[in-house]
A and B are shown apart, each in its own frame.
Chain A
Amino acid sequence: MSSSLTASAAAHPEARSQRRRVRRTAIVLGLVAGSFYLGFIAMAVYKAMH
């Protein structure tokens, strides 16, 4: 795999920023998923206490 992506990376000067964008988007999406997980448990805790 690396060879294919890095071939593209070498061919295009914006490859490094693309890699940054990829990582940033993935982390944001992961945080969104994590917050939904914890958020729903927190809502249930709140509901159970009231």
Chain B
Amino acid sequence: MAEATPLHAAHDDHDHKPHGWRRWVYATNHKDIGTMYLVFSGLMFFVGGGMAMIIRAELFKPGMQLVDPAFFNSMTTMHALFMIFGAVMPAWTGLANWMIPMQVGAPDMALPRLNNFSFWILPFAFTLLFSTLFVPGGGPAGGWTMYPPLMLQGGASFPMTIFAIHMMGASSILGAINVIVTIMNMRAPGLSLLRMPLFVWTWLITAYLLIAVMPVLAGAVTMLLTDHFFVTPFFAAAGGGDPVMFQHIFWFFGHPEVYILILPAFGVVSEIIPTFSRKPLFGYEAMVYATASIAFLSFIVWAHHMFTVGMPLAGQLFFMLSTMLIAIPTGVKVFNWTATLYKGSLSFEPPMLFALAFLFLFTIGGFSGLMCAIVPADYQYQDTYFVVAHFHYVLVPGAIFAIMGAVYYWLPKWTGNMYNMTLGKWHFWLSAIFVNVVFFPQHFLGLAGMPRRVPDYAVQFTDWNMVSSIGAFCFGASQLLFPILIWKCVRGGERVPARVWEGAHGLEWELPSPPPYHSWTEPPSETVIARGAEH
């Protein structure tokens, strides 16, 4: 960081933005970087969504009609990688960049140049990953879990995929370091940890998860790389290695990763529901402890993803029971949100609609997760569409609806303009209806025995596949409303006050709309903090 400049000079500089491409390439401002993350995430959402459309088009009826099986497998693999690492994670990082400094009374993220680096790794990583579709042998096709020995049979795409994963991991780790350092060191004086907004709390815990598990993924894929190119026998049974060990290491990363995707959603919903209920959040401290408990438990449940691989009965029992334990802190959250709604003065603007849909539909995903946790039942569900339905309920009306709710909640703050409410409600209702049309029938398909990751299927699965595909096309088309709404809002609209929503609390609402280029050049006073910290 540069040497300190005199305060008056900095004041003169308050809203002086760099212009042109330099503003974005050399960006160190948290709002600019947040915007870049969000735009990038939106782009990846549509690329990954396009892949989902190809998958659903192929599955519209039995038989092979549009793509060859290898390309279909590439699509399922790439869809997951683009959605998880390209859409959801960068969206949360973008929201963290925009909101955390504003919510903790800091002028910027603690390490702005590192922030720039974290972002700019991503376009290169995803360009590399996408380009694997054009190399001999096509893109990675072994599933996003990259299990050996299947993954080791990949063609030229294999090292490119590993390198791209490494870059995504590095970006996430650097971003997480920045978040933790900002929250722990840059909070305004007087803003104690238990006065922080829930979004900041959930992101703090998420950042610790990222630091703990992204290096584990990096270690796993490094070993895959050495197995492939340097004949090490980590996961090669022929050389005395153990392919199941990869699954253990991968899921030690993979399960906390699920919570990396969903914990910030809990934070967002904990902000939105009190605002539109015009009541303080019920059980603020319980929410914090529940989030921390979920994060802790996420480290001791990984093998529930691999019950059928063969493990001792004691292991199965341990992982089944520890998985079920997660229902307790999650239940605390669901009941607290419901208690916040109880006797509230509710209104149903788009952020609230998305938060309520989250509450209902994420809970459905949670219940089917509990079903999958039951070992004998999981023997039937394993590798079927029931699992696909389960995790899509958690991730689409869970994580993605929360991201959309967050954008609808804070977009007027960011732009200073109110968006088109009618268009927002259309976007919500179309999304909420069709997300169920896509994914609910997949429960039936899975229970009837349809395996996942197949481009063709037996004729008895046709009807529900057609319904699911029609739902997917309608859901995909309805998402086009979202960028249109955002574009129109950025271009103009009814001006909004600093506190956009009358029930909103938090330091971000103390800043004007749109906020100045540098947020809190002076730390907020105790009075302002006290007003903002009314949870």
Contact = CB atoms under 8 A, between A and B. Distances in A.
Contact of A5 (B1, B173, B180): B1
Q: What is the interface residue range for chain B against chain A?
A: 35 or more
B422 to A, nearest CB: 38
A10 B216 CA distance: 40
B1 A8 contact: no
Contact of A3 (B185, B223, B518): B518
Interface in B276-294: none
A6 B249 contact: no
B483 interface: no
Contacts of A40: 215-216, 219-220, 249
Interface string A1-22: 1111111111110010011011
Nearest to B216: A40
B10 A4 contact: yes
B325 interface: no
Contacts of A33: 173, 177, 211, 214-215
Ranked 3 nearest A-B pairs via Cβ: A7-B10, A1-B28, A4-B518
Interface of A: 1-12, 15, 18-19, 21-22, 25-26, 29-30, 32-34, 36-41, 44-45, 47-48
A11 to B, nearest CB: 6
A44 B110 contact: no
A37 B219 contact: yes
Nearest to B252: A40
B241 A48 contact: yes
B173 A25 contact: no
29 contacts: A1-B108, A2-B5, A4-B108, A5-B1, A6-B1, A6-B2, A6-B3, A6-B5, A7-B7, A7-B107, A7-B521, A8-B107, A9-B4, A10-B6, A15-B4, A18-B185, A22-B110, A22-B111, A25-B180, A26-B110, A26-B178, A29-B211, A33-B215, A37-B219, A39-B219, A41-B219, A44-B219, A44-B245, A47-B242
B250 to A, nearest CB: 11
A41 B215 CA distance: 10
B218 A26 contact: no
B3 to A, nearest CB: 7
Given A3-B5, A3-B518, A5-B1, A37 B177 contact: no
A8 B181 contact: no
